[in-house]
Amino acid sequence: MSMFFDPYSDYGFKKLFGEERSKDILIDFLNTMLPKRHQIVDLTFTDKELVPGSIDDRRGFCDIFCTAVNGDRFIVEMQKARFATFKERALIYSFWALENQIKRGNNWGRKKRFSSVYFIGILNFLFDKEFDDDGLPVPNKLYTNVRLRDDDNTLFYSGLTMKFLQMPLFQKTENELESRFDKWLYFLKNLPSFEHIPRILNEPVFTHAFEVAKIGNMSQDEFDAYKKISLDIITQNDIINTAIEEAKEEAKAEAKAEGEIKGKAEGKAEGVIEGENKAKRVIIKNLLAKKFPIDEIAQTVDLSVEDVERLLS
């Protein structure tokens, strides 16, 4: 087992970014992405009773009240997860943060009706392909900073900013790190594989982060819980991979048979397409039987939720 836990696990994410004792870690990390006027000097975690109910799953989620150097109060919604509809969820969570300010009334010392909201998504996957108005593919980026703007790029609303980190696109080595932001991404990307603290990360806040992440510092109950989660993830991946391989084999056989029966090139092509659809149906049904969320299933078979439902109808 690794010396340090996986920061993308629900347990690891909460330990690093969702507990009082790790506030200095969270503040330092967030400040690498926030503007100068909103550099955080203090933060508190929200009253969980004010957090809206689940869409499907709000694990790996932090709802944070922040105080900036200029005295402003603002909210950070932070999540790591893998959902086929992650962008839509990010929008919903962000608007919940705005809506909840009405429910809180005049509490929390706000100077204006709505405090700014930042949504930060730490993604261990890549977004599905998007296409612009001309039908051209939009390239995925390591760091995406989204604000509400008009067609001429004029800022429409300054109170909502969404930031996404697509971590698979971070490829820098230790010798290539140039900024504190780089150091944090290097830490998150490589934490489970570190056998010691790299020299470039030998700073107080990173030293603290490594201590929090050290599996040897867990209590027995924490270790048992983390081990169970890790095994569940391995089992889940094995189930998915097995279902995919079984479906592929079944699809090959059926596609070949249908193509041979039709005896024409176009018939074979139709057989292959239908075979692929049947393969996806097998995967979907297997995963549904094992209680996998529909969003995760859609991501696995590279379809939208609507297409998954259509295949099952």
Q: What is the pLDDT along the chain (313 residues), one digit of tens a residue?
A: 678 988 888 888 888 998 899 999 999 999 999 999 999 999 998 755 444 444 444 445 678 999 999 999 888 988 876 666 788 888 888 888 887 777 665 555 545 567 899 999 999 888 888 888 888 888 999 999 999 999 999 999 999 999 999 999 999 999 999 999 999 999 999 999 999 999 999 999 999 999 999 988 877 877 777 676 665 555 555 555 565 566 556 655 665 565 555 544 444 455 555 656 776 777 777 777 766 767 667 767 767 777 777 777 7
Rounded distance between C-alpha atoms, residue 94 and residue 116, angstroms = 10
pTM: 0.71
Distances (CA, A) of 13 to 30, 79, 83, 140, 309: 14, 9, 17, 24, 32
Q: Are 34 and 40 in contact (CB under 8 A)?
A: yes
Q: Which residue stretches of 172-219 are H helix?
A: 180-190, 204-213
Q: Are 14 and 63 in contact (CB under 8 A)?
A: no
Tokens of 167: 């971590």
Rounded distance between C-alpha atoms, residue 76 and residue 105, angstroms = 19
Q: What is residue 236's predicted lDDT score, i.e. its pLDDT?
A: 52
Q: What is residue 209's predicted lDDT score, i.e. its pLDDT?
A: 96
Q: What is residue 235's predicted lDDT score, i.e. its pLDDT?
A: 52
Q: How many CB atoms lie within 10 A of CB 146?
A: 14
HSE (side-chain half, CA atoms, 13 Å) at 3: 9
Number of H helices, E strands in the chain: 9, 8
